[in-house]
Amino acid sequence: MSKKRVVHQDYKCSECRDTGWVIVHRDGIRRSIRCPECGLKKIQARLLYDADIPAIYSGMDFKLFSKGDPSQSNAVARTVDFLNKYPRVRRGLLFVGPCGVGKTHLSVALLKALITEKQVRGLFVDEAELLSRLQHSYNPNTLETEERILSRLKNADLLVWDDLGTGRPTEWAKSKISEVINHRYTQCKWTVMSSNYPMPGKTSKWGSLSKSETLEERVGTRLFSRIMEMCEVVEVVGADYRIEIHKAGMDARDKNGSSEDYSSLITEAALICPKCSDGVITVIDSARTTVKGKGPVIDFSSTCSKCGDYSQGRMDLKTGKVEFS
């Protein structure tokens, strides 16, 4: 009599065998529930993936934010206050200030924190890229439609709108921007915005940047009025981080032993998913640390572009070797 062959397989989660679900018995009834060990991680990974945060911003969080000006410290405090009080907040946030002072950094850090801590269904959009996508949607050969693009923006629980006012100020562009913002205004949905254009009445120059138009002139008085009701204004000033790293003679990846984004290193490696061995992984978070005996490494979390599986790994900065946990 031959013995039955037992096939052993390594799972990242022994509780659910990487399915995300476990069987429990309650009151004599057999139920299927989300795995308490990894179910939440899968939800977070899916929400982060759906948020469309650009790879260059994926590593941004509150710990890496540089606070060289009092306004930056104030901006962090007000952003963290929004995070702690959400969803019991009256209005969204509007970050205004010159380039490179951390407006997008804070917006993305808030979005990521709301997703991971409170499972908020959020979305990131850059205004100029949005208008380009909408124009491209009129191409009969594209699968992306204007209706689908705008619907996602209108219905996200929290929308991060980056670079408000940078799109070409045509009547068509204004109408599409107004359509989204007006919908979110009437439906009382939270929106976080950032803009390089100064508020009305601001006469001082932001460093080397001087805008001839105010934000109100750029987007129109009617829409500006609604934005003022929707958002609390947070002015951020300071040195342009992107310029300062060159003045200091340091690459952005090595400044102060930290970085605003390490995901590009991992993305460039085009790593294959350890689960399905087919799709390329997409980095959703990364941070640099130092391991005794090894030196500097990058710890990262990612999802597969094909199967959607969540994975964690570590890249050795000296050797470039990557190990998945």
Task: Compute the distance between CA of residue 108 and CA of residue 57 in angstroms, rounded to an integer.
Answer: 7
Euclidean distance between CA atoms 167 and 177, whole angstroms: 9
If you search the block for the tokens 């500097």, which residue do you land on?
Answer: 296
Angle at the Cα of 133 from the Cα atoms of 188 and 226, rounded to 5 degrees: 25
Q: What is the band of 268 on the pLDDT scale with cuts at 50, 70, 90? A: low
Measure CA 156 to chain center: 13
CB 269 within 8 A of CB 300: no
**Residue 29: predicted pLDDT:** 87
Q: Hey, what amino acid is at 179?
A: E
* Mode of pairing for the β-strands spanning 21-26 and 29-34: antiparallel
The answer to pTM > 0.75 is no
| Whole-angstrom distance, CA of residue 34 vs CA of residue 63 | 31
Q: Are 37 and 21 in contact (CB under 8 A)?
A: no
Single-letter code of the amino acid located at 9: Q
CA–CA separation, 310 and 302 (whole Å)? 6
Instruction: Report pLDDT digits (tens) over 280-315.
Output: 777 766 777 777 667 777 877 777 777 777 778 888
Q: pLDDT tens for residues 145-159?
A: 999 999 999 999 999
pLDDT in tens, 173-210: 889 999 999 999 999 999 999 999 999 876 545 543 44
Compute the distance between CA of residue 59 and CA of residue 301 in angstroms, rounded to an integer: 10
For 116-129, write each residue's pLDDT tens digit: 999 999 999 999 99
Instruction: Report the chain's mean pLDDT, rounded to a whole number.
Output: 82
pLDDT, residue 168, reads: 79
How far, in Å, are 71, 100, 210, 274 from residue 68 at the CA level? 9, 12, 21, 41
Q: Which helix (H) or strand (E) holds 215?
A: helix 215-219
The answer to whether 287 and 315 have CB atoms below 8 angstroms apart is no
Lookup: tokens for 124: 């990131």
Task: Kindly report, residue by residue over 44-84, the tens digit of the pLDDT.
Answer: 888 999 999 988 888 888 887 877 788 999 999 999 999 99
Amino acid at 27: D
Q: How far apart are alpha carbons 122 and 284 in whole angstroms? A: 14
User: Cβ(156)–Cβ(121) under 8 Å?
Assistant: yes
What is the model's pLDDT at position 90?
Answer: 93
Residues 6+ positions from 37 with CB-CB distance below 8 Å? 13, 15, 16
Q: Enter the tokens of residue 153.
A: 């923006």
Among 204-208, 215-219, 220-224, 280-284, the minimum mean pLDDT is found in: 204-208
Task: Tell whether the model's pLDDT for residue 267 goes beyond 80.
Answer: no
Count of other CB atoms within 10 angstroms of residue 154? 16
Token pair of 82, please? Answer: 């929004």
Task: With beta carbons less than 8 A apart as the criterion, state whether 144 and 137 touch.
Answer: yes
Report yes or no: 55 and 194 within 8 Å, Cβ to Cβ. Answer: no
The half-sphere exposure of 210 on its side-chain side, counting CA atoms within 13 A, is 5
